[in-house]
Amino acid sequence: MKPASATMAPQPPPPPMPPGAKPGPRPPPPPSTGIGPPRPPPPMPLGSKVPRPPSGPQRTANAISGEGSGSVDDTNAPKAKLKPFFWDKVAANPDHSMVWNQIKSGSFQFNEEMIETLFGYASADKNKNDKRKDASTQESVPQYIQLLEPKKAQNLAILLRALNVTTEEVCDALREGNELPVELLQTLLKMAPTMDEELKLRMFNGEISQLGPAERFLKVLVDIPFAFKRMEVLLYMCSLYEEVTFARESFETLEVACKELRSSRLFLKLLEAVLKTGNRMNDGTFRGGAQAFKLDTLLKLSDVKGVDGKTTLLHFVVQEIIRTEGLRAARAARENKGSLVEDVSTDMEEHFHNLGLEVVSRLSSELENVKKAAAIDAETLTGTVAKLGHGLLKARDFLKSEMKNTNEQSGFHEALKSFVHNAEVDVTSLLEEEKRIMALVKSTGDYFHGNAHKDEGLRLFVIVRDFLIILDKVCKEVRNAPRKPVKTHKNHASNPSSSSSESRLAPTSPDPHQKLFNAIAERRMENFSSSSDDES
């Protein structure tokens, strides 16, 4: 450790004496410490350069890094410790021009307080200061008398501010039967005071200003007779029209869906094709000889693949229906022209194939309401109708009991009386409509599945919707698949009149599905031509 005298700065010279003043006694010599004056610095070695003083104003490390934004006192003051920033420092070379030489003091100043807030370590002193601030903030907040559970009071106060509704508006609605937002009524009913809280509100006789916003609001409401029962009835009055409209639209969709599913010619054709194809696939087994099948089977057609591993049984059925629908379109074109079609060119066969494909592709749009009906939740629909009927009974009982005993002749009483009279007609007709539509849905389930369960009809809509999604995908694959060119047989070229006109309308090229499902392809003319003749 160096002696104290070695580190002491030299004393400044005494000030000059003013003219005419007499010199005083000489000051005593400094005490002897036994240590001589500091030694001179060692001589510089030969060849070394004397270091030059830096040019311009000197800058501290903080000023270079941008931290010297404060005064000298701020620079010397201890700074909060920040999180480390790991980088690779480069030694600046004063003899070489570098980009860092262009950085000047004061070119960038950052917010010291912000960087300490974002990247500083939380100190104990700061936590103490924060606690003091929180304590002072709490002292500035006015203290109210709490009669409600704190969480409930806070939520109710937030709700009233968010909806921008006043106490007078709610009270007028409960007295005159005015309409209020459904969300507000639902939330107010959830936040209704308990019996103890209501008793505290009624017994409070102090200044109303001593209560919080939620307590002041409820204090006024509890003075209205049967305030929350009125609110419950008012909620039913405000939501009845919307609920009835939703139920009627759902019933209408179910009714149209039942009619579409039962009257669709193409869907019936599809079921016939699947039934005959399935019986041929199951020939000789206990599964064969079926006269009907559950519609769940439609979802399994895409699981049965041919020998190529790509073509499914659904592809085969769709191709066969396309062929028969093409023959049907060709027959209709022949009858419209009034003459026999002597020959079928490649372009015409392609045209008839496209016609059949378009017919099959339209099945999804023909059963549009079936897809809509599949999205209807039966439990929600029946629950809505039951809730409307139960709500009407409660409103009628409230009108004939509580409101009658109060002998109140207010706007709310008159509005409720008129509402109950009109709602009885709407709700009664809705309940009858529900019975009729649900019976129709059940009969539709029985129409396809025999003696079906209660909700079997609604499940059918879901099955058909899922099948239509698969069918649309297969039709798209058939449309995009390349078709092989038609090869005309020699016997047809030599003797074109040897076969009937309808046989010429059929595709003469070997169908690739013959190689995939040989046994079925042998009988396809027998199975599908007869049904086409019946439809014509």
Range of the domain at 169: 150-224
Confidence of residue 515 (pLDDT cuts 50, 70, 90): very low
What is the full DSSP assignment across 295-333?
A: GGGGGGGGG-B-TTSS-BHHHHHHHHHHHHHHHHHHHHH
Residue 461, pLDDT above cutoff 60: yes
Are 303 and 246 part of one and the same domain?
Answer: yes
Please report whether residue 138 resides in a domain: no
Beta bridge partners of 120: 82
Contacts of 313 (CB under 8 A, 6+ apart): 277, 281, 301, 302, 304, 305, 306, 517
Last residue of a domain, one of 224, 259, 290: 224
Q: pLDDT band for position 385 (50/70/90)?
A: very high
Least confident of 35-44, 107-116, 369-378: 35-44
> Both 365 and 389 in a single domain?
yes
Q: Residue 473: its pLDDT value, please? A: 93
Residue 509 has pLDDT above 50, yes or no: no
Q: Do residue 251 and residue 375 come from a single domain?
A: yes
What pLDDT score does 456 carry? 83
Interacting residues of 363 by C-beta distance below 8 A, sequence separation 6+: 264, 266, 267, 270, 468, 471
Average pLDDT over every residue of 153-168: 84
Domain for residue 266, yes or no? yes
184 pLDDT higher than 70 = yes
In angstroms, rounded to a whole number, what is the distance separating the alpha carbons of residues 395 and 410?
Answer: 16
Residue 476 within any structural domain of the chain: yes
Answer yes or no: do 361 and 411 share one domain: yes
**Consecutive H or E run containing 518:** helix 518-522
Same domain, 357 and 405: yes
Q: Mean pLDDT of all residues in the chain?
A: 75
Please state which of the ranges 27-31, 306-310, 335-339, 471-475 shows the lowest mean pLDDT: 27-31
Are residues 204 and 263 located together in one domain of the fold?
A: no
* 105, part of any domain: no
Alpha helices in 362-410 (DSSP H): 363-366, 368-374, 378-400, 402-406
The domain tally of the chain equals 2
Q: Are 256 and 495 in contact (CB under 8 A)?
A: no
Q: Which of 55-59, 344-348, 369-373, 445-449 comes out lowest in average pLDDT? A: 55-59
Q: Give per-residue pLDDT as tens, 259-298.
A: 999 999 999 999 999 999 999 888 888 888 888 899 999 9
Quote the tokens at residue 220: 């006024």
- Please indicate, yes or no, whether residues 448 and 299 belong to a single structural domain of this protein: yes
pLDDT at residue 11 above 90?
Answer: no
259 lies in a domain?
A: yes
Q: Which of 47-61, 215-229, 252-266, 487-501 tops mean pLDDT? A: 252-266
Segment of 105-114, 219-228, 238-247, 398-407 carrying the highest mean pLDDT: 238-247
Which of 261, 236, 210 lies closest to 396 in space, CA to CA?
236
Residue 423: name the closest of 239, 246, 231 by CA. Answer: 239
Answer yes or no: is 275 within a domain. yes
Quick one: 180 and 259 in the same domain? Answer: no
Q: State the number of CA atoms in the 13 A half-sphere of 381 facing the CB.
A: 25
pLDDT at residue 58, rounded to an integer: 46
Q: Is residue 329 part of a domain?
A: yes
- Please say whether the beta carbons of 465 and 370 come within 8 A: yes
Read off the pLDDT band of 103 (50, 70, 90): low
pLDDT at position 440 is 94
Residue 97 confidence (pLDDT) above 80: no
Segment 505-523 mean pLDDT: 47
pLDDT on residue 395: 92
Q: Is residue 355 part of a domain?
A: yes
Does the pLDDT value for residue 135 go beyond 50? yes
Candidate ranges 213-222, 329-338, 436-445, 450-459; pick with highest mean pLDDT: 436-445
Per-residue confidence at 517, pLDDT binned at 50, 70, 90?
A: low
Evaluate if residue 505 carries a pLDDT over 60. no
Average confidence (pLDDT) over 338-363: 73
Q: Is the pLDDT of residue 168 over 80?
A: yes
The CATH number of residue 203's host domain is 1.20.58.630
Is 475 within 8 Å of 291 (Cβ atoms)? no
Q: Specify the pLDDT at position 76.
A: 64
**DSSP labels, 69-91:** TS-HHHHHS----B---------
287 and 156 part of one domain: no
More confident residue, 39 or 331: 331
Same domain, 213 and 165: yes
Residues 200 and 284 in one domain: no
Tell me which of 224, 253, 288 is where a domain ends.
224
For the stretch 419-428, pLDDT in tens is 999 999 999 9
Predicted model pTM: 0.61
Q: Is pLDDT of 235 > 50? A: yes
- Rounded mean pLDDT, 227-232: 90
Q: Do 417 and 300 belong to one domain?
A: yes
Output the CA–CA distances (angstroms, integers) from residue 531 to 16, 78, 269, 357, 363, in the order listed: 135, 98, 9, 18, 19
Listed residues 482, 497, 525: the one ending a domain: 482
CATH code: domain of residue 432: 1.20.58.2220
Nearest to 13 by CA among 25, 3, 27: 27
Task: Identify which of 217, 257, 225, 243 has the alpha carbon closest to the alpha carbon of residue 408.
Answer: 225
